[in-house]
Amino acid sequence: MTQRADKPATLADVARRAGTSTAVVSYVINNGPRPVAAATRERVLAAAAELGYRPNRIARALRSRTTGVVGLVLADASNPYFGALARHIEQALERRDRLTLIGNAGYSADRQRHLIDRFLAAQVDGLVIVSADEGRDEADRPETMNVPAVYVHHGPVGGHAPVVAADNDAAVREAVAHLREHGHEHITFLAGPDDAGPVGLRRAAWQTAVAGGAEAVLLRCDYSRAAADALIRRLAAEGALPRALITATDEQAIGVLSGAWACGFPAPDGIAVISLDGTPDSAHTAPALTATRQPLRAMAEQAVDLLLGQASRTLTARAPLVIRRSCGCGWQSGPGA
């Protein structure tokens, strides 16, 4: 028998059903502060499920002076990379019984600052800031209010909050080495409009890996499929299409594949392509995109552990190269390829 819909079950209701005290029920629901025998715990959880009991977060917040809510500020929610990263962060927080409030900065520093102010006003227990540039340190205000904050993907130079990111240098070096194994001596890099954020680190790593030779051509375009598509069409028309290309992002890589196909230079015969994001979409392009897979889940878990005081230092996670067909591996020219 379940509780009537117009009368939510209480802690006392669960205690009566489980044949124990409200204190014991509280220890089970809140995972402490005192241990509860396994059999009793199971009985309490079963009673809570039967009665449809849901903990009152507001009452819990008043007792503990915490809200159980974490604010997540995304650089741009429309970008699949940041969307996938947000899912992993939200899941990591859910496993730790935290509710996530998500705000989209849309690559705007002003919008990012506004969201942080709103989250602080809502008395969140912590902030995860997924940043894409080297703007001012937005974690200084949470710090003055004793609200922990952590940056993911990138963070400001000289900031105090921990930054969780992947090993961009190793990822780029592995991509360059793989293209050389395919016989490519001249490897071009497609960056964004500028060198802000991790893309600048990736561009610098590429420059070092190719030894800065005269043939180390650097291309730039916006972080969109349409911009990369247009760039490739223009280069093909000018007879300047590179034979091997590393793109800073998957969105650009997808546009490169589209533009190259439209111009009669499909990958990998016309152009060998490796991307440096490795979002889920990269496995479903034509041909499938070889990419350095960003360790999104590991980054999310580490960020949440740091935020909740369950880790003491940051660890740079490896971004392994996922071999598919756009680089030339497993590729046969002609119909049916």
Band of residue 143 on the pLDDT scale cut at 50, 70, 90: confident
Name which of 214, 301, 285, 290 is nearest 246 in CA terms: 290
Architecture of domain 11-55: Orthogonal Bundle (1.10)
Per-residue burial over 115-154, b = 16 or more CB atoms within 10 Å of its CB, e = otherwise: bbeebbeeebbbbbbbbbbbbebbbeebeeeebbbbbbbb
Task: Give the mean pLDDT of the chain.
Answer: 87
pLDDT per residue as tens digits for the range 159-185? 889 999 999 999 999 999 999 999 999
Instruction: Please determine, for residue 195, whether its predicted confidence score (pLDDT) is greater than 80.
Output: yes
Looking up tokens 């039967």 gives: 50
Q: What percent of the chain has pLDDT over 70?
A: 91
pLDDT per residue as tens digits for the range 64-110? 556 789 999 999 998 889 999 999 999 999 999 899 999 999 989 89
Residue-level pLDDT at 57: 56
Instruction: Please determine, for residue 333, whether its predicted confidence score (pLDDT) is greater than 80.
Output: no
Instruction: Please determine, for residue 61, whether its predicted confidence score (pLDDT) is greater than 70.
Output: no
> Do residues 275 and 292 make contact, with C-beta atoms less than 8 angstroms apart?
yes
If one compares 313 and 309, the residue with the highest pLDDT of the two is 309
Residue-level pLDDT at 6: 58
Average pLDDT over residues 14-36: 84
Q: Where are the domains of the chain?
A: 11-55, 67-164, 168-294
Band of residue 214 on the pLDDT scale cut at 50, 70, 90: low
Residue-level pLDDT at 227: 97
pLDDT per residue as tens digits for the range 104-131? 999 898 999 999 999 999 889 999 999 8
Residue 322 pairs with which residues in a beta bridge? 291
CA pseudo-torsion sign 207, 210, 216, 222 = negative
Please tell me the CATH superfamily of domain 67-164, with its number.
Answer: Response regulator (3.40.50.2300)
Band of residue 36 on the pLDDT scale cut at 50, 70, 90: confident
Average pLDDT over residues 203-223: 85
If one compares 278 and 247, the residue with the highest pLDDT of the two is 247
Average pLDDT over residues 136-151: 86
Residue-level pLDDT at 62: 44
- CATH says 168-294 is which class? alpha beta
Instruction: Please determine, for residue 56, whether its predicted confidence score (pLDDT) is greater than 80.
Output: no
Average pLDDT over residues 118-146: 86
Matching CATH topology for 67-164 and 168-294? yes
* Pairing relationship of beta strands 99-104 and 69-74 according to DSSP bridges: parallel
Residue-level pLDDT at 1: 45
